[in-house]
Amino acid sequence: MIRVDDLKKTYGQHVAVDGISFQAAKGEIFGLLGPNGAGKTTTISIISGLLEATSGTVTVDGRTMSPTASSVKKVMGVVPQETALYEELTARENLRFWGGLYDMSGSRLKKRVGEVLELIGLIDRSDDAVKTYSGGMKRRLNLGLGLVHEPRLLLLDEPTVGVDPQARLSILDVIREAARNGTTVLYTTHYMQEAEELCQRLAILDHGKILAEGTVDELKKMVGEGEIVTVRGSFTAQQMHQALEGHPHVHAVSLEDHQAMLSVAGDGGTARLLQDLLGQDLEVNGVNVQPPSLEQVFIKLTGRELRD
């Protein structure tokens, strides 16, 4: 459905997007997960035709995207990171306008506007001016505007930033619903949790490069299949490294002075490791055991934590 090939965007010396490639199939929710400044918005802007790429191509259903390719733009729905609405107009008027811009009209537009209002839960307030809405309602309308024309490709740039938990759930529901109806979704976020919940496949992006790509399970396997044990104490990295020598079932995800993140495979492996560590002269004053998550994948790939 959408295919991105070796996309690059530079601003002077600065490389914002550094040769990324991926593809997503019809009805798939594909995630771009990365911290602030990773290049998510730049990528979305190029795909939606707002920016020209320095090099590389974007094809949608085999047709090449460019800022002037209006027939390609027509099948895309774009939901910008910041809400972009006409505050003086009502939700219905906003939806009708955007539907009209994408060549919808008459009874088809009218019917679809009603459906979207229902979907985003604004039917009761549909004839009030947008400026009277709460932040969460504006967010939902912002999403709705990208859906009126039933796009085959939906581009979402961090649509849940600054949204209360309830509105977030309803936004994720609307996105799943769109995907069920065959829309391909490209979803950017810096929330691991959200990426894990929503996306069938995702790419981890940092400094404009894709570091890893796959399903959530495939990515998690990169840090091992067992448990993740985080150990804190007043040890050095060197000491910990030595202490681990007799444990072939343990891999260090990250290893620093005073903190080690370890992936432990096999039944009872964690208990054996802890007993051994405590038996040695290592000073341990905190242990945390978790199943593997994207957080650890990111740490393994970058050596940094991905924080909100």
Partner 1 sequence: MSSLVLMVAKDLRRRLRTPVGLIVLLIFPLAFAGMVGTAFGPSSGSGSGLPVITILMVDHDEDLLSNALQNATGNEQFSQQFDLVWIEVEDEARRMMDNGEASALLILPENFTTDLLDGKQVTLSLVKNPAESILPQVVEEMAGVLGVFLDTGVRILGEPLKMAGEMFDGVEDDSSLFPDNQALVALTLQAATQIRPISRYVFPPAMVFDTVSENDVALATLLQASPGDTTDDLLRRQATAAGNEELTDAAADDNGFNIFAVLLPMVSLMSILFMGDNGMRDLLAEEKAGTLTRQFASPAGVGRVLAGKIILTLVICSAAMLILAVVGMALGWISTSISLVGSVLQVGAIALAATGMSSFIYGFARSHRAAATFQSALVMGMSMLGGSMVPLSQMPDFLKAMAPYTINYWGIRGLTDLTVRGLGVADVLQEAGVLLLIGLLGMAIGWWRLSRRYALGANA
Ligand X SMILES: Nc1ncnc2c1ncn2[C@@H]1O[C@H](COP(=O)(O)OP(=O)(O)O)[C@@H](O)[C@H]1O
Contact in structure between 199 and 30 (CB atoms under 8 Å): yes
Give the residue with the Cβ less far from Mg ion, 9 or 40.
Answer: 40
In the complex, the smallest distance separating the C-beta of residue 35 from Mg ion, rounded to whole angstroms, is: 10
Cβ closer to ligand X: 18 or 128? 18
Report what 52 binds from ligand X, Mg ion, partner 1, none; CB cut-off 5-8 Å by kind. Answer: partner 1
Closest CB to ligand X among residues 150, 295: 295
Instruction: Assess 51 for contact with partner 1 (CB under 8 A).
Output: yes
Pick the binder of partner 1 from 15, 123, 129, 161 (CB under 8 A). 129
Token readout for 206 is: 């940092």
Size of the site for partner 1 (CB under 8 A): 33
CB of 239 to partner 1, least distance (A): 49
289 near partner 1 (CB under 8 A): no
Q: What is the distance of C-alpha 138 from the center of its chain?
A: 21
- Which residues contribute to the site for Mg ion (CB under 5 A)? 40-41
Task: Provide, rounded to whole angstroms, the least separation between the CB of residue 14 and ligand X.
Answer: 5
d(CA 82, CA 145): 13
DSSP label at residue 147: T
Decide which of Mg ion, ligand X, partner 1, none touches 108; Cβ closer than 5 to 8 Å per partner kind: none
Residues from 83 through 112 that contact partner 1 (CB under 8 A): 83-89, 93, 97-98, 100-103
Segment contacting partner 1 by CB under 8 A, of 29-37, 40-48, 163-171, 289-297: 40-48
Q: By CB under 8 A, is residue 132 in contact with partner 1?
A: no
Q: How far is the CB of 41 from ligand X (least distance, A)?
A: 3
Based on the shown chain and the rule CB under 8 A, indicate whether residue 169 belongs to the binding site for partner 1.
no
Q: With CB under 6 A, what is the number of residues at the site for ligand X?
A: 11
Beta-sheet pairing, 153-157 with 184-189: parallel
> Among residues 37 and 286, whose Cβ is nearest to ligand X?
37
CB of 32 to ligand X, least distance (A): 8
Q: Pick what 16 binds: ligand X, Mg ion, partner 1, none; C-beta below 5 to 8 Å, kind-dependent.
A: ligand X
**H-helix or E-strand spanning residue 229:** strand 227-233
CA angle 71, 75, 77 (to 5 degrees): 125
CA distance linking residue 266 with residue 269, whole number of Å: 5
User: What's the start-to-end Cα distance of the chain, in Å?
Assistant: 31
Site for ligand X in 17-76 (CB under 6 A): 34, 36-42
Q: Do residues 28 and 201 touch, judged by C-beta distance below 8 A?
A: yes
Output the six-digit token pair for 270: 């964690």
Q: Are 143 and 94 in contact (CB under 8 A)?
A: no
**Spatial separation of the C-alpha atoms in residues 203 and 183, rounded to whole Å:** 19
The CA R_g of the chain, rounded to the nearest whole Å, is: 23
CA–CA separation, 267 vs 74, rounded Å?
A: 54
As a whole number of angstroms, the distance between CA 140 and CA 163 comes to 10
In degrees and rounded to multiples of 5, residue 17 shows phi and psi of -130, 125
Q: Is residue 73 part of the contact set for partner 1 (CB under 8 A)?
A: yes
For residue 132, give Cα distances in angstroms to 90, 93, 129, 142.
9, 14, 6, 15
Q: Site residues (CB under 6 A) for ligand X?
A: 11, 14, 16, 34, 36-42
Q: Site residues (CB under 8 A) for partner 1?
A: 42, 45, 48-52, 67-68, 70-71, 73-74, 76, 78, 80, 82-89, 93, 97-98, 100-103, 129, 145
